[in-house]
Amino acid sequence: MLIDALLASLPADRVVRDPDVVAKYQHDEAEWAPYAAPLAVVRPRTALEVQAVVRACLDHDTGVVTRGAGTGLSGGANATDGCVVLALEGMNAIKEIDPLERYAVVEPGVVNDHLRAACAEHGLWYPPDPASSPWSTIGGNVATNAGGLCCVKYGVTRDYVLGMQIVTGTGDLVRLGRKTAKGVAGYDLAGLMVGSEGTLGVITEITVKLRPLQDPQRTVAGYFDSIVDAGRAVSAVAAAGLTPSALELVDKQCLIAVDAWKKMGLSVEANVVLLGRIDTAGVVGDQEAEKMLSCFDEAGATWSAVSTDQEEADALFAARRLAYPAMERLGPVLTEDVCVPKRAVPEMLARIEQIGIAHETTIANIAHAGDGNLHPLLITPRDDEAARARAQAAFADIIDAALELGGTVTGEHGVGLLKMDGLAQELDPVVLGMHRSVKNALDPRGIMNPGKIFS
């Protein structure tokens, strides 16, 4: 029996079967995606313990679903019937920070913001900053190739992964990648693992590249009556040749929900707010901020300013980060993650509005607008199956619209379960077959996160 094998190779406290505890590990934040009851939850503390779990699951032909903090939004960590959920939150050590070589070595359960704080003590910075950075883990960020607020200028998780240690689908413990600034010895297998959503192996350690601490930032805020006007401002910023360190969109529905929850004292009259940040130093940075301000004004901003109040600016960005959990308090939220070319942002936002109206579905909007990554939040009343069906139809239409505009079905959340149909629409069948070939080569028994990404 698998449980006996796990208990024989691990300390007893690592294997959890209490139904009340196990139930908390059945799904991530994507409750709209299917999930089932796992056989057990295993909480390893070392790579060797992870390897023991994978080998036991291979011996008993049982699926392994790896989980970080459970903040995923596509069902990538949702349990399958009778699987073992491998919960890595206990592997949370920052093992090394090298200020000279500018890298850090971390275990997968390290929380993103904790790493950023530790790096700051050395005058260094880990840029990828998903909105969930106070809670999400580096392992989960790597598994989905997470982006974030500042990726418009500084790139996504893949741009910072130098190497990693993994347990493969055949139960081997191996190192991929490097610690050096350059290296082209063999295929980029570490890069292949980034964004693979636990379907090719279990990540047990990651080496990430660091940068010097970011320069102080100027915040440019703009208020808009129309979400399409805000989209035009985004396209204008790109056309002007600006590369802000962040350009975020949040609508009034989200700000009201955040303020009702956190009592932040937000007072926003506009229907949509754009928040830009410029971190270019000196006079050039001042000029870029003024240029962004002009882009906002020319697109129809009803009010805009370069903020001189850092506390107020930080509060608005904090509200942006809290938008999803705040909206979730109002009812079940189905979260989109489409990404379109920057020139298509106004049209995509217009289509999202039209789709919401057509399907009688409430859609609030947040976005990493600067790189075209939009997160419409489809909200339904609890226990309203008709509203849920309308929201799912709207979700599919948003995917169709993004693909028509030259976009992709997922910018940073991953395919998981929610975007499997969308992936099949986006990828050529030959390319999808290439994905399956990679999966079969690295996980020949199909135990790694079974049923995710593609069937």
Which residues, listed in sequence order, are joined to residue 429 by a DSSP beta bridge? Answer: none
Q: Does the pLDDT value for residue 308 go beyond 70?
A: no
Mean pLDDT of 238-251: 97
CA–CA separation, 410 vs 402, rounded Å? Answer: 10
Rg of the chain in Å (alpha carbons): 22
Q: What are phi and psi of 402, to 5 degrees?
A: -60, -45
Q: What is the pLDDT of residue 268?
A: 74
Q: Quick: pLDDT tens for 395-451.
A: 999 999 999 999 999 999 999 999 999 999 999 999 999 999 999 999 999 999 999
Q: What is the pLDDT of residue 265?
A: 79
Q: Quick: pLDDT tens for 17-31.
A: 999 999 999 999 998
Q: How far is CA 102 from CA 65, 130, 399, in A?
A: 32, 21, 39
Q: What are phi and psi of 374, to 5 degrees?
A: -105, 140
Q: What is the pLDDT of residue 89?
A: 97
Q: For domain 215-327, is the CATH number 3.30.70.2190?
A: yes
CA–CA separation, 363 vs 227, rounded Å? Answer: 12
CA–CA separation, 113 vs 321, rounded Å? Answer: 13
CA–CA separation, 53 vs 422, rounded Å? Answer: 32
pTM: 0.95
Q: What is the pLDDT of residue 421?
A: 97
Q: How far is CA 8 from CA 4, 47, 52, 56, 447, in A?
A: 6, 17, 10, 10, 21
Mean pLDDT of 191-206: 99
Q: Give 309's pLDDT tier (boundaries 50, 70, 90).
A: confident
- Topology adopted by domain 94-212: 3.30.465
What average pLDDT does the chain have? 96
Q: Does the pLDDT value for residue 390 go beyond 90?
A: yes
Q: Quick: pLDDT tens for 40-79.
A: 999 999 999 999 999 999 999 999 999 999 999 999 999 9
Closest CA to 143 of 80, 222, 223, 198: 198
Mean pLDDT of 230-241: 98
Which residues does 41 contact at the CB level (< 8 Å), separation at least 6? 15, 16, 17, 21, 22, 25, 84, 85, 87
Q: What is the pLDDT of residue 215?
A: 80
Closest CA to 406 of 426, 420, 431, 423: 426
Q: Quick: pLDDT tens for 310-357.
A: 787 888 889 899 999 999 999 899 999 999 999 999 999 999 999 999
Handedness of CA 394, 371, 158, 325 (dihedral sign): negative
Q: Quick: pLDDT tens for 133-176.
A: 999 999 999 999 999 999 999 999 999 999 999 999 999 999 99
Q: Quick: pLDDT tens for 249-261.
A: 999 999 999 989 9
Q: Does the pLDDT value for residue 6 go beyond 70?
A: yes
CATH entry, 331-444, from 3.40.190.10, 3.40.1350.10, 3.40.50.720, 3.30.70.2740: 3.30.70.2740
Q: What is the pLDDT of residue 311?
A: 81
Q: What are phi and psi of 46, to 5 degrees?
A: -140, 160
Whether 331-444 and 94-212 are alike in CATH topology: the answer is: no
Print burial letters for 188-204: b (CB count within 10 Å at least 16), e (below 16). Answer: ebbbebbbbbbbbbbbb
Asked if 65 and 407 touch (Cβ cutoff 8 Å), the reply is no
Q: What is the pLDDT of residue 160?
A: 98
CA–CA separation, 292 vs 276, rounded Å? Answer: 8
Alpha carbon 286 to its chain centroid, in Å, reads: 31
CA–CA separation, 373 vs 367, rounded Å? Answer: 6
Q: What is the CATH number of domain 2-87?
A: 3.30.43.10
Domain range summary for the chain, segments of one domain joined by +: 2-87, 94-212, 215-327, 331-444
